[in-house]
Amino acid sequence: MSRRRHRDHLPTRPTWRCAACGIAWPCSAAKLRLLGEYRHDRLALTVYLATLQAEAGEQLTEVDPARLTERFLSWARARG
């Protein structure tokens, strides 16, 4: 039986790039996965992402904090 190699779309530290596709995390695949996992608790998703944003802010000191907020949180807000 052949074994498929699968890499999750998770952040690598301290670069905060996706382990699977190499782009800035959270990538599109990670966003879709997180929205699915937290579909019934958007507040918990926001808290989780804010925690990761704070960690990323400590490691990505050259990135404007406003850009990190956009990157980590703005897409996860509930649509009204």
What are the pLDDT digits (tens) for 4-37?
555 799 999 999 999 999 999 999 999 999 999 9
Q: Where are the domains of the chain?
A: 8-75
Average pLDDT over residues 49-58: 98
Residue-level pLDDT at 77: 82
Is the peptide bond between 26 and the residue preceding it cis, with omega within 30 degrees of 0?
A: yes
Give pTM, 2 decimals.
0.86
Q: What is the pLDDT of residue 78?
A: 67
- What pLDDT digit, counting tens, does each position of 6-15 carry? 579 999 999 9
Residues 58, 12, 67, CA angle at the centre, nearest 5°? 50
Instruction: Tell me the two tokens of residue 4.
Output: 């498929």
SS3 content of the chain, % helix, strand, coil (to 5): 50, 5, 45
